[in-house]
Amino acid sequence: MPTVLSPDEVARLLGATTSLKHQAALSVAYGAGLRVAEVAMLKVRDIDSERMLLRVERGKGGRYRNAILPADLLILLREWWKVGRRQGVMHADGWLFPGQHYLKPISTRHLYRIVAEAAHAAGIAKKVGPHTLRHSFATHLLEDGVSIRVIQALLGHEKLETTAFYTKVATRTARAVISPLDKLALLPGPQPQAAPDG
């Protein structure tokens, strides 16, 4: 079973990052549901603010897809663009998250380390990696009632069975189901108290 963070844990993890660049990278993983390699390979030009989409050109199996670009994520990425420009590491044709040298993207290994350190700083005992944020994205959408077919498209899954896996970890969805037993009203409710004598 994949590790899934609660929304509160995700917020704590993102808040525990040590730089705007790290917070932005992890926010993309959670906010758009991207794989770690997809986050690393994003370029500045992949942000489509007109259509509020992120273009994923190097998805699994070399497939192209569009991922969602939440409004708050766009604000965060614009802030990172300004800071990165001041630092001299951001270029219009460059990587969204440059590595040690601005001509190379951030490494997936570095992203794993960023997540682990932020989780530790946030007091999250679960074993987490960048993929945990993708799992949490899918599970939270499912719990909020988003169609599994829509989630399949957002994640870039070829097979529905892969996405259906998240139904096993969507606890809020399971808790919201009313058992048919509860509708039968077989069990007695609280009995009225007998009036005291006298």
For residue range 131-140, what is the model confidence (pLDDT) as tens digits? 899 889 888 8
CATH number, domain at 164? 1.10.443.10
User: In this structure, what is the dihedral angle of CA atoms 94, 129, 17, 125, given to the nearest 10 degrees?
Assistant: 180
Domain-located, residue 191: no
Could you give the residue numbers annotated as active site? Answer: 35, 60, 131, 134, 157, 166
Domain-located, residue 2: no
Domain-located, residue 192: no
Which residue range(s) make up the domain with 28?
7-171
pTM value? 0.79
How does DSSP assign 124-171, residue by residue? --S---HHHHHHHHHHHHHHTT--HHHHHHHHT-SSHHHHHGGGGT-H
Nearest one of 47, 60, 58, 59 to 93, comparing CA atoms: 47
Name the token pair of 125: 């005992």
Domain-located, residue 182: no
Domain-located, residue 155: yes
How many domains, in total, are found in the chain?
1
> pLDDT tens-digit profile of 163-192?
555 555 555 544 554 555 555 656 555 555
| pLDDT computed for residue 2 by the predictor | 75
| pLDDT computed for residue 172 by the predictor | 53
